[in-house]
Amino acid sequence: MKNINERLILALDVDTEKEALEIVEELADLIGYFKIGMQLYYSCGNELVEKIQQLGGNVFLDLKMHDIPNTVYNGARVVSKLGVKMTNFHASGGLEMLSKAAQGLSENPSQQTIGIAVTVLTSLSNSDLDDLGIENNVDTTVKRWALLTKKAGLKGVVCSPQEIKLVKQACGDDFLTITPGIRPKWSVKNDQKRITTPYDAIKSGGDYLVIGRPIRAAEDRREATKRILEEMNQGLIDYKKERGL
């Protein structure tokens, strides 16, 4: 990665194309990826993906595909043709589904789409997993699903910042971690449980950070973004110092 900006993903969790494009136009030079989730995609569709790309923004299409293997294969194949730079799948779909996802993305060699898998949502805790009938705790589940994702040929996982080191130890430093649940010290917590600061996430070895409300809801979005990038950059400096890089 060339600079710290490329590691920042902004979640465009808004309702309309107008709101989304205003944000992209304002921040395209500061943000590495703009994440289009279900809320916005179901409202605006593929046309918005193309418009963001035309404005110079890289798109992370966050649809969390989870279906039978052949359906996911075809979905991944189509997504790659859209030219998105990153997309995701649910690790709980299993090895065959994840392998088909990786295969679908590879069908378009002219477009290198980073395929990742979602492990345990950052809104969930150990008690939530127990309610779902999953006997393992969060750490064990994240580790098992990360190893499954790597075996399937995808490039990384979405996990909370608290599991970055665990994933890196299990899967290697080259295996990507994409971490939501990032909240600057000056931001409110909102509804996510397993959270940390931009500084701590990067210092722990995180590759990409997903941030939404602290930027979108800021009175000055560019200033908020710059403050977050400063925190991330200091985290990277200290990460390198600790490892003698």
Distance CA 146, CA 116 (A): 10
Q: Which of 2, 18, 35, 64 is catalytic?
A: 64
**Which residue from 3, 74, 55, 25 is spatially nearest to 222, judged by alpha carbons?**
25
DSSP character string of 82-102: TT-SEEEEEGGG-HHHHHHHH
Task: Count Cβ atoms within 10 A of the Cβ of residue 63 and give its class: 0-12 exposed, 13-18 middle, 19 or more buried.
Answer: middle
Which DSSP state fits 217? T
H helices of the chain, where? 17-27, 38-44, 46-54, 69-81, 95-106, 126-131, 138-152, 164-171, 198-203, 213-216, 221-243
Orientation angle between helical segments 69-81 and 95-106, nearest 10 degrees = 30
CA distance 71 to 17: 28
Q: Which of 50, 52, 59 is nearest to 32 (CA)?
A: 59
Beta carbons within 8 Å of 106's beta carbon, 6+ residues apart? none
Note if 143 is an active site residue.
no
Q: What six digits make up the tokens of 178?
A: 């994409």
H or E element at residue 33: strand 33-36
Annotated active-site positions, please? 64
